[in-house]
Structure 1
């Protein structure tokens, strides 16, 4: 990568809120909307989950159709009030669950893509793509977006995932991965959708930030925001010591991904001031993230965790981290202008994204 990529707009649907402002306001105050499910553990205690409640027929349809409805809602929010409306020239980089995820149907990718286009009543550009890497999907999509913005003025990255799925819940419960009365180190299943619009830095004047506290008097006469969120570094690696493998977890890949992302730090930077993590409460990932950040001198920074309010949201969490950074910086409550986002998938993908908030200088 030679130029940063600008984060222009966001949209989100989570169990804590049905749009980006309400979702990230809840995350800011560490609120959640966890509730009991009809599923019970071996002691008969109901399993807690962070399920999205859309308030319509979508809540009573098959889970995959609900995911389509969630993602369509997030995309609409992201693209609202833009100076153009034709998505046929807009590439869609769709982030979804890993191929090996229990409960995932073989036609999942094509079904979600077709469902989104049908719901929105519009198609997307031919060079749209699907990224089935779980949490790390958003970073893989961002990596490709650096090239796509050379040919397209804007690129839409969207993600959706759900662990609140009967087949997935049964499999995760059998594997001892869910938080239950007998497994205190498990995770709370969740579901969410998120959309982020990105572009090349020179196009930031065409799409002003939404819900921003940046003083309009500080904007230049050209209409360029005083500050914009940019992705300035990415690191992607593959871990062989995955959950359930015989090899010991030494956080080799995640450490490498963090070092790759930190290469995007300016020379005058004092380092990372905030980490946003997609890790859940599982011991395996908690230890891995702790080891990786300790080795890369990032462990002294503040840590925000999506799972505290939303549970494990899989592929959606990678994009939600970026959208949360966008909200916190534009609302001026983030403790730092430099943020490191960390993600790990069950299949071994490890990724880190370096985000910086400020003015772009060529």
Structure 2
């Protein structure tokens, strides 16, 4: 997707320019939901990341074939969602639906069905299924949505990591152009199936004693609700954050290339994103990155951080959701986004702006910047959480 900073660069510093031109307005995040191995609500998962937990709520070891004939087995540590709604043994579209349904309900809990006003939805599904075209959406949520795109992801490990941030930018552009008042972007993926684990093991990517720089496969599902600021204020929706700018790049030394990463693609993405901000990138107080334990990503980030931020008196935090919830493929982008939005809403972002960065194994890189919204009162947030959970329970029953 081509870079279109103007289509989403409408944070706090550009509100006046948008109003004068008579176009767009700011794009607000007014709802979000998340399911991870740390919990089936966004706040449990976000709390785990904020507290920097290094352990997993559901810590399992499965046996993976370490030889083509299956005669040698090795234990693989995985982080898998478990509970009444996501029972053991679910695969394909059933698992996609079980993971994504709670996140969709949480993200859309403030909406009511309205004839002719269905919410356009972009749904990224990384879990392979024999049911071609099956949309992982529960029956009680489907009337609210008008699926724009159901995007199955290729099963190569590490593919699809940038898709979520791309679809957020696409949805924001549609909102600014007035094609819809609100839009939903969702993703679900799992690396906990045996065929995927065998691929990762064969590629030497699983965390183990002989390989301390590997990943712990996980799974997750999440969704965010985007809305034009005018529409959100009209219906009294909480505004947790604003989408401010985006950047993209291509790394000439991707992870699959065998050469050490020099961080060029990620550096380019950061500079593009910061060009769309009214302040310098050095003022960024929090970065939510996609590092997952692999050496190549760590090296790329180390080089990028020095180039982009350099020496600064500003204290900057680095949050790594994959260290808490596991490497969850195409769903890691939504985990990062929900964590960033929640940090802004809870006033824990070390400032009023957050940057998210993501990169595919093929070298594609993305950066998305968010500004703090109006909803940053911790006591009000706790009250709202209780009210929202009550509404969700009422709708399910």
Q: TM-score w.r.t. structure 1 length?
A: 0.83
- The answer to whether the aligner puts 1:110 opposite 2:139 as a matched pair is no
Match of 2:394 in 1: none
- The answer to whether the aligner puts 1:21 opposite 2:50 as a matched pair is no
Match of 1:252 in 2: 264
Q: TM-score w.r.t. structure 2 length?
A: 0.76
Alignment map for 1:1-362 (pairs within 5 Å):
1-2=6-7, 3=10, 4-31=26-53, 32-39=56-63, 46-56=75-85, 58-84=87-113, 89-97=118-126, 104=128, 110-111=133-134, 113=135, 115-116=136-137, 120-122=141-143, 124-125=145-146, 127-128=148-149, 130=151, 132=153, 134-149=160-175, 150-205=178-233, 206-209=235-238, 228-267=240-279, 271-297=283-309, 301-358=316-373
Q: Structure 2 vs 1, CA of residues 281 and 166 (structure 1 numbering), >3 Å: closer, same or farther?
A: same
2: CA distance, partners of 1:339 / 1:56: 33
2: CA distance, partners of 1:13 / 1:358: 23
2:118/2:146 contact within 8 Å kept? yes
RMSD in angstroms over aligned alpha carbons?
Answer: 2.8
For structure 2, which runs of at least 5 residues remain unmatched after alignment? Answer: 1-5, 11-25, 67-71, 154-158, 376-397
Q: Structure 2 vs 1, CA of residues 263 and 340 (structure 1 numbering), >3 Å: closer, same or farther?
A: same
2: CA distance, partners of 1:241 / 1:44: 33
1:34/1:51 contact within 8 Å kept? yes
After superposition, give the CA deviation of every residue in 1:318-361 in whole Å (9 maximum; x if it has no partner).
1121211221222222222111101111232210001111469x
Is the partner of 1:59 in helix, strand or coil? coil
Aligned residues: 335
How much does 1:240 deviate? Answer: 3.7
2: CA distance, partners of 1:184 / 1:65: 33
Is the partner of 2:268 in helix, strand or coil? helix
After superposition, give the CA deviation of every residue in 1:39-93 in whole Å (9 maximum; x if it has no partner).
2586966321110013246432225421221112210111113244569721111
1:41/1:47 contact within 8 Å kept? no
1: CA distance, partners of 2:332 / 2:185: 13
How much does 1:21 deviate? Answer: 1.6
How much does 1:95 deviate? Answer: 2.6
2: CA distance, partners of 1:127 / 1:70: 20
2: CA distance, partners of 1:94 / 1:109: 14
Q: Structure 2 vs 1, CA of residues 248 and 46 (structure 1 numbering), >3 Å: closer, same or farther?
A: closer
2: CA distance, partners of 1:229 / 1:131: 28
For structure 1, which runs of at least 5 residues remain unmatched after alignment? Answer: 98-102, 210-224
Is the partner of 1:38 in helix, strand or coil? strand
